């Protein structure tokens, strides 16, 4: 199977990665990752998580492995280190990992971190923007949630409101 995987057989590479993961063969899995086996790259964090290997996950995440970053954030969350998970997800999201951005928005919502959600929404995180009204409602701020849904955010992150000139325009439309 290894020879076929090394020769470029996608099915063999996938099967080999699965087998190495089942056997707990960390060195073999790492060798396959180095050889470009995408299945091995996605399974390596799984094995590191099963082992509780925060250091291994952190090294891989710091090297730009998004699978490892997600795995590290998940393990940190399970262990109650939400600040650590936040940092890992934020770094991965800033590097362009959309899944990490989604998970970060979810974590910020769970933590009730309205300012963090606003900052992420301002940075273009669509999931954070969609969760902002939900969090406002959970915090008993339904009027702000309504304004947010209707008018969005100002550049400073505050919730926009109708300006006097907009109100005049709206009143004018109602009168006609």
Instruction: For domain 64-175, give the fold.
Output: 1.25.40
Please give the DSSP secondary-structure letter assigned to residue 160: P
Asked if 20 contacts 32 with a C-beta cutoff of 8 angstroms, the reply is yes
What do you get for the CA distance between the two ends of the chain, in Å?
A: 76
On the question of pLDDT at 5 being above 70, the answer is yes
Distances (CA, A) of 168 to 143, 149, 156, 163, 173: 21, 21, 24, 9, 9
On the question of pLDDT at 81 being above 80, the answer is yes
Rounded Cα gap, residues 19 and 55, in angstroms = 23
Q: Hey, where are the domains in the chain?
A: 1-51, 64-175
What radius of gyration, in Å, describes the C-alpha atoms of the chain? 23
Tens digit of each residue's pLDDT (9 = 90 or more) over 88-117: 999 999 888 899 999 999 999 999 999 999
Per-residue pLDDT band for 173 (boundaries 50, 70, 90) equals: very low
- How many CB atoms neighbour CB 69 within 10 A? 27
Tokens linked to 94: 């800033």
On the question of pLDDT at 118 being above 70, the answer is yes
Asked if 159 contacts 144 with a C-beta cutoff of 8 angstroms, the reply is yes
The model's pTM is: 0.71
How far is C-alpha 108 from the chain's CA centre?
Answer: 10
Percent of the chain with pLDDT over 70: 89
- Counting DSSP H helices and E strands in the chain, the numbers are 12, 0
**Quick one: which of 142, 146, 122, 76 has its CA closest to 105?**
122
Tens digit of each residue's pLDDT (9 = 90 or more) over 8-66: 889 999 999 999 999 999 999 999 988 889 899 889 988 998 999 999 999 989 888 88
């Amino acid at each position: 199977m290894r020879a076929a995987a090394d020769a470029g057989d996608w099915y063999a590479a996938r099967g080999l990665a699965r087998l190495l993961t089942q056997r707990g063969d960390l060195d073999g899995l790492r060798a396959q990752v180095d050889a470009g086996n995408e299945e091995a790259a996605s399974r390596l964090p799984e094995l590191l998580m099963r082992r509780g290997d925060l250091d291994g996950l952190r090294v891989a995440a710091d090297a730009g492995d998004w699978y490892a970053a997600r795995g590290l954030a998940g393990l940190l969350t399970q262990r109650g280190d939400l600040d650590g998970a936040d940092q890992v997800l934020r770094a991965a999201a800033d590097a362009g990992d959309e899944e990490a951005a989604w998970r970060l928005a979810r974590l910020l919502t769970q933590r009730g971190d309205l300012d963090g959600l606003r900052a992420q929404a301002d940075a273009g995180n669509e999931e954070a923007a969609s969760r902002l009204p939900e969090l406002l409602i959970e915090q008993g701020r339904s009027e702000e949630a309504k304004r947010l849904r209707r008018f969005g955010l100002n550049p400073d992150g505050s919730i926009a409101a109708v300006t006097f000139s907009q109100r005049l325009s709206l009143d004018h439309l109602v009168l006609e």
